[in-house]
Structure 1
């Protein structure tokens, strides 16, 4: 009986609220005003297909203006907030925000130009091949609301009967003829003005690759003849306009290439550039036929020879034009890159190519905050202080030195699972070319780089130990395009030295796994990382993928004949070097519902296998689970491996590491207003060992791995201040892998009223940036 009463009350309350919203939509309208509720398109035709009719209707509705007030389930909450808020006295403050930002002014029927919309319907339909279209409209009103019904009679859609490209003896026509097999205009396709425009762009793009710099799509005319057939067909004739400027029909070649390496952007746009064309000039340097104007000798001329794809005598093409501009920008040393072509020999159809480059500040000091995961698998938030010199040796080499402090803070859960604090410094020299004994050819818009790094990191696990992590690497980074990036470290060396191991840790580190955490570690070998992403594109669905392969100590182990299992373990500087193979994959999928709502998901799968000189994966290269960027319902690195129960260690929670990792995260994100965002999320996953560890029963990967998956969920608050995103995620465990096998789901244990339950199960993650 109580349940029925509650259900009735719930529906009654919903009905009352709906009535309030609906009544307030028209209550505030003046006498004679009517709220516009939208338009309806009725297509009347027996000759067009059902699919075509549906597409035409959707397109016509999308083109009508204005749009009615935003509605949700038949309600108009934004209009409601506009109506109930008094007119603000100033263009700021809470009242202004509520009325004009949260609220929305009413769209009235008097705002709708029905005749204009009728013309839009007829014009759009004709552009899509419905040449004999006719449209009418009618207005229907009731209770101070009105909508417009448009009735459309489109007739049959015209199809393309033939496409011709008339030929002549001109050079430009011959180039057009070479590409006719790639035309977008196909016999039997519907007439479509948008396709015709795309065909003109296609021809223009093709001619731009053949030296026709001054050509324009408007120089092409597509004539449509509908008199050739009585069966609703049209013939298309594609040709040059008679009034095409002569300059547009000529192929141009590059004469001189001139670079202003310190150009003042404030100069007048119509300035005439006077370049001293002789080698003894104090301001101009000639390098491989490139004139470099650099009075202060800020840059070595060779960097422009590497970046510029145009050479003296080359036929102009747009691909090299854009490629050169992109490579100049990707050098990272120029703030503005401007390009101009000036005709220098009209008789021989030649022009000079000018590159006007405005350098950035060569040195900068920046403070930044971010969330990151480093090579040793530590995840959390970080504050960096960076000093950068973008031209340290006059060849666009970038030297970056940074110091940082980082933390991984979670509040709640096991009280002895202490937080991690990190601090360190690193230096990176990035050279804008591949420094190698072989020649590296790249036609990418991005300049390949050689990176040399040197770093130190101090890691403190509160109350237990500290680790000193030294790292150096040498390798290459290059991009195929904006989506694909390769990072190959030919040598990546890590030396881990433990320090300040506390008596508390010694007293509880009774297992081999816990002792290995504070052992010296020497790791060296190549590391390759491949990244693919299209998240920068304006798409509904985007993806991100990062794959990593780490091969440590393989050559040294092979040459030395190392075999740790047989007692033949080799050392360097009295430290056994590590030998293993590790692979990790990080795949993310993003779906955009609206401008303010989206869905994000991530799958991480990785495995590390020790062999040769190692029986175990070094602690700093193992996988970890739990934390603000991982499974948020468990404290940082306290989850797993497998079904191992960390409470077996006298109530202490340590860094739990594994050789196999599987993790899945999903998150719904929504923007409430301006900088305020909320999220609802769920995380699942765990880590496992490759080999048996008697001190950690249940840690090895087995056929029961699926039953050992941990699950957590929660809600988040994100404060997006553009330069800083502060994230607060509150999570709780829904499935705990180290509980008894039939009792791992925790739904029956949830008790928000219990303070003890809240302390043990509600985990507050404080972080900077999004988790993925």
Structure 2
């Protein structure tokens, strides 16, 4: 180690030592009053055995202060705050004669007062960010005992006994031990029913096999509650409009039953109040006799009579002004059907369906008794819809940076038009643009803003499946079917390989339930045109350097392939003429005999040319795909969920069939062309799984697994760049920069490394540090490879199962600050296992901060 390195090493050791010394020297009991004790630990012993069950510890009312690596950091921060900061400041200000006058003369009276306010705010921040000491409160300990008793009782241990012991130490710290003796649990023996209403009883008998209460199982109060929820849902979806959960009662008999429970299910008739008296009436199955839909309801017109009306398939549609929606568009969104029995889920589905239209505000659905029905069984459903504004706009602006773009400004806007054809369709027109600065641009950075992009998209959404045949039986309207038509144009002036991009999509989307989404892309067309292919070697310097090195080994300095300065001596291939000419001559069936190229050099030139052709050729992708997504996350605050996505995509088959039927001639590459472009043909599949475990107290474990492969065939021997995979970056393997990882063990030698096969695994432990500041420890593993395509480089190809050993591993830590509406993220990744290094240098050789990769991102990576 040199003198400079030794100095920095000693500095790091000193910093770590001082930090540890500070944390351990802090007095944790500084704010603990006399004769009080800081709760240091809770322990629960079940039948004399220490339990680690988090469900038991969650029953305790009092918990120790949160610790990180065994240190209560938030408690120490809280202890830094002063209990009487204002009086201390005033005392300091007046302690020395003339101190206040001198400060006022130097700063002003207003600034001196502000200094006191600032110190007060800092003090309050320390209190709010920190955590006050958890001082043992014996009344809370006793409440914890009762809560533990309730927990065991509710799980069948009716005769449980629980005691506690507080162990105090001289350091003003104490621990609490809870001693649990559950004794024998009770089991369900029988369930008897007493249901007064014959209708309710018959419905119960029809669905008794789905009961949550099963004879022989250990008693759990939660099972009784589940049964109440099940029966309430069952009755309210079987026509019993007036049924409520509080009508269901249970009582239990455990006397002399030898630890068995005999349950009684009691459902009385519903109470009905008439005047001052209350009677009980049996439940009835109610039927929907009429459905009224008001398309432009507002509070102001609530007492007015509709001026326009129409009907369709038994639905009555009204408007206080002229009705602006087609009858079918309205009725397709209503799942409450005239002539059918009342079902609570139909109301819920109607709410969801109307919300999915994005045309109306949250609907108001009201039921009332039909005055024309003397039996009182018929209901009228009134659906009150309040339209949203027909037009809405949005403007976006952002500032970004990347490994290519040093600084960029993005801007965009969109216009949304509702009900454009009267069928609740939505037309969205959006435009976006950006300008940026890059030192990699061909102009050498002469202009600050030297790269740009502009694009526009048009999206038309229909709230139904548009298909020549009826699809109602396959995809009924409760699945919220949607048809999308999307068209887009994009023009890039980037670091040199400027592009034009046109896309067109026709797809269907439907949701069988709240957690499953299906999307079928019937047609997904993308055309990519490269405008500046002659700039290729000006941009991809790594490829140019490798090619130029080979040229210098076999060519004379005076060769015509080199750029010729005034002295006639050069070692640089001219771009593009010299570089392209040298490749053409080297790979020619009859190469120049003066080149004297060896086999490895020819293979290297072939690899360079293959990559150049792929990245500069125009692409025509005509694909179809199906995507299945299952996501059981209930809301943004749900941190215990899983998400699975599977996608299958096929491209080029339709165009191949058309080419064969039309007897088109193949070009010199034995491939078909459409509009002068060799269309892509491949099969691609992706599998993506995410799982989160909520450990409580803002501790979360997150896991992701991804696998994908795209295999070219027929009219192509490679995958277009737009459909390939890449590795590295803030949302992938964070120990490598984006596009820097792989393929295989090749070492990421190109500027944009991509391939047609990918495996990625990520695991992350997230924990709270202080308030809105969170931390994370992570392990990322994965790589990309070429498989069954035109790439022949052995290090980049996945050709046998042993190549799985080339999975790269990155580990690291991160900080996140939660602003509620988004999370700002910093991750530091270290190359733990680098498959591109020599075999004896692959593990832990990039484990220092100088070689770490620093990733900034918005929101969590998965």
TM-score by length of 1: 0.81
Q: Distance in 2 between matches of 1:747 and 1:587?
A: 28
| Equivalence for 1:294 | 319
| Paired residues, number | 723
Distance 1:598 1:420 in 2: 41
The answer to which of 210-219 and 601-610 deviates more is 601-610
Partner secondary structure for residue 362 of structure 2: strand
Structure 1 residue 133: Cα displacement? 5.3
| 2:804 partner SS | helix
Do the aligned partners of residues 73 and 259 (structure 1) sit closer, same or farther apart at CA in structure 2, a change above 3 Å counting?
Answer: same
3-state SS of paired residue (1:199)? helix
Does the 8 A contact of 1:625 with 1:687 survive in 2?
no
Instruction: Tell me the residue number matched to 1:528.
Output: 626
Q: Residues 83, 411 of structure 1: CA spacing in aligned structure 2 closer, same or farther, 3 A cutoff?
A: farther
Task: Report matched runs for 1:620-631 at 5 Å.
Answer: 620-631=722-733
CA 1:617/1:137 → structure 2, altered by over 3 Å: closer, same or farther? closer
1:580 alignment partner in structure 2:
682
Match of residue 325, structure 1, among 341, 348, 351: 351
Q: Which residue of 1 aligns with 2:294?
A: 260
In the alignment, the residues of structure 2 paired with residue 641 and residue 323 of structure 1 have an alpha-carbon distance, to the nearest angstrom, of: 48
Pick aligned residue for 1:83 from 71, 79, 83: 79
Number of the residue aligned with 1:688 = 786
Is structure 2 residue 244 aligned with structure 1 residue 216? yes
Of residues 672, 678, 700, the one that matches 1:598 is: 700
**Which residue is 2:657 aligned to?**
558
Following superposition, the deviation at residue 698 of structure 1 comes to 3.8
Residue 389 (1) aligns with residue 491 (2): no
Q: Return the offset for 1:10.
A: 12
Alpha-carbon offset, residue 646 of structure 1: 6.3
1:691-726 C-alpha deviation (Å, 9 max, x unpaired):
3446x5643332253354444455545454344544
Q: For 1:56-67, what aligned pairs fall within 5 Å after superposition? A: 62-67=58-63
State the match for 1:24 in structure 2: 28
Cα offset, 1:11, TM superposition: 12
Contact residue 744 and residue 783 of structure 2 kept, 8 A:
no
How far the C-alpha of 1:687 sits from its partner, in A, is 2.7
Map residues 471-486 of structure 1 onto 2, 5 A cutoff.
471-486=503-518
SS in 1 for 2:513: coil
Question: Which of 483, 501, 519 is matched with 1:487 structurally?
Answer: 519
* Distance (Å, rounded) in 2 between the aligned partners of 1:613 and 1:705: 28
User: Corresponding residue for 2:101?
Assistant: none
- In structure 2, the CA distance between the partners of 1:635 and 1:220, relative to structure 1 (3 Å rule), is closer
Report how far residue 433 of structure 1 moved.
Answer: 0.5
Change (3 A) 1:15 1:170: same
Instruction: Indicate which of 603, 608, 615 corresponds to 2:710.
Output: 608
Indicate the residue corresponding to 1:239 in structure 2. Answer: 266
Normalising by structure 2, what TM-score? 0.73
- Write the distance in 2 (CA, Å) between the matches of 1:556 and 1:84: 72
Instruction: Say if 1:261 and 1:358, in contact at 8 Å, map to a contact too.
Output: yes
Mapped to 2, the partners of 1:629 and 1:10 lie a distance apart of 31
Measured in 2, the distance between the counterparts of 1:633 and 1:121 equals 46
**SS of 1:320's equivalent?**
helix
| Residue of structure 2 in register with 1:104 after alignment | 132
Q: Is the 8 A contact 2:77 2:129 kept in 1?
A: no
Distance 1:411 1:65, change over 3 A: farther
Secondary structure in 1 matching 2:332: helix
Distance 1:152 1:620 in 2: 62
Structure 1 residues 74 and 314, CA gap change in structure 2 (3 angstroms): same
Tell me: CA distance 1:205–1:39, structure 2 relative to 1, closer, same or farther (3 Å). same
After superposition, where does 1:730-749 map in structure 2 within 5 Å?
Answer: 730-731=828-829, 733-739=831-837, 741-742=838-839, 745=842, 747-748=844-845
Change in 2 beyond 3 A, CA 1:443/1:140: farther
Question: Which sits farther off after the overlay, 349-358 or 323-332?
Answer: 349-358
Q: Structure 1 CA distance, aligned partners of 2:55 and 2:695?
A: 20
Shift of 1:454: 0.6
User: Could you give the per-residue CA deviations for residues 42-69 of structure 1, whole angstroms, max 9, x where no partner exists?
Assistant: 6679xxxx9xx979x9766543434444
Task: Provide the rounded CA distance (Å) in 1 between the counterparts of 2:717 and 2:808.
Answer: 27
Note the residue ranges of structure 1 that are not aligned, 5 or more in a row.
373-379, 648-652, 753-757
How far apart in 2 are the matches of 1:113 and 1:630? 46
For 1:43 and 1:714, the matched residues in 2 are separated by 38
The Cα of 1:326 is off from its aligned counterpart by 1.4
TM-aligned CA distance change 1:473 to 1:390, over 3 Å: same
Confirm or deny that 1:656 pairs with 2:687: no
Distance in 2 separating the partners of 1:69 and 1:151: 22
1:548 aligns with 2:647: yes
Alpha-carbon deviations, 1:389-423, whole Å to 9, x = none?
233223221212222347999999xxx9xx99754
Q: Distance in 2 between matches of 1:224 and 1:308?
A: 43
- Separation of aligned partners in 2, 1:716 and 1:38: 28
CA distance in 1, matches of 2:775, 2:436: 21
Q: Deviations over 1:278-337 (max 9, x none)?
A: xxx623333333233333434333222111111222111122222111111121222322
The whole-number CA distance in structure 1 between the counterparts of 2:771 and 2:288 is 50
- 1:658 and 1:621 map into 2 onto residues whose CA distance is 9
Q: Establish whether residue 172 from structure 1 lines up as the match of residue 200 from structure 2.
A: yes
What secondary structure, in the 3-state scheme, does the structure 2 residue paired with 1:78 have?
Answer: helix
Q: Which residue of 2 aligns with 1:456?
A: 489
Following superposition, the deviation at residue 252 of structure 1 comes to 1.4
Q: What corresponds to 1:755 in structure 2?
A: none
Measure, in 2, the Cα distance between the counterparts of 1:629 and 1:125.
44
What SS does the aligned partner of 1:165 have? Answer: strand
2:695 and 2:219 map into 1 onto residues whose CA distance is: 33
The one-character-per-residue Cα deviations of 1:197-218 (angstroms, maximum 9, x if unpaired) are 3222222221112111211222
- How does 1:701-740 map onto structure 2 within 5 Å? 701-703=798-800, 705-731=803-829, 733-739=831-837
**SS of match in other structure, 1:359:** coil
Q: Equivalences for 1:274-353 in 2 at 5 Å?
A: 282-296=307-321, 297-345=323-371, 347-353=375-381
Further displaced range: 664-673 or 319-328: 664-673
Larger Rg: 2
- The answer as to whether partners of 1:627 and 1:636 remain within 8 angstroms in 2 is yes
RCO higher in structure (CA 8 A, sep ≥6): 1
Q: Is the 8 A contact 1:411 1:764 kept in 2?
A: no
1:438 alignment counterpart: 469
What is the CA-CA distance between 1:33 and the residue it aligns to? 3.6
Aligned mates of 1:686, 1:318 — CA distance in 2: 50
8 Å contact kept, 1:36–1:109: no
| Structure 2: distance between partners of 1:714 and 1:121 | 39
Q: Is the 8 A contact 2:213 2:224 kept in 1?
A: yes
Q: Matches of 1:733 and 1:421 in 2, distance apart?
A: 34
Q: CA deviation at 1:435?
A: 0.5
Cα gap change, 1:299 to 1:498, in 2 (>3 Å): same
Structure 1 position 735, deviation (Å): 5.0
Distance in 1 (alpha carbons) for counterparts of 2:737 and 2:340: 62
Residue 384 of structure 1: CA displacement?
A: 4.8
Are the structure 2 counterparts of residues 180 and 244 from structure 1 closer, same or farther at C-alpha, using a change threshold of 3 Å?
farther
Question: Match for residue 480 of structure 2?
Answer: 447
Give the corresponding residue for 1:376: none
- Structure 1 residues 117-154: Cα deviation after superposition (integer angstroms, max 9, x where no partner): 55545555544444455666665544445566666666
1:589 maps to 2:686: no
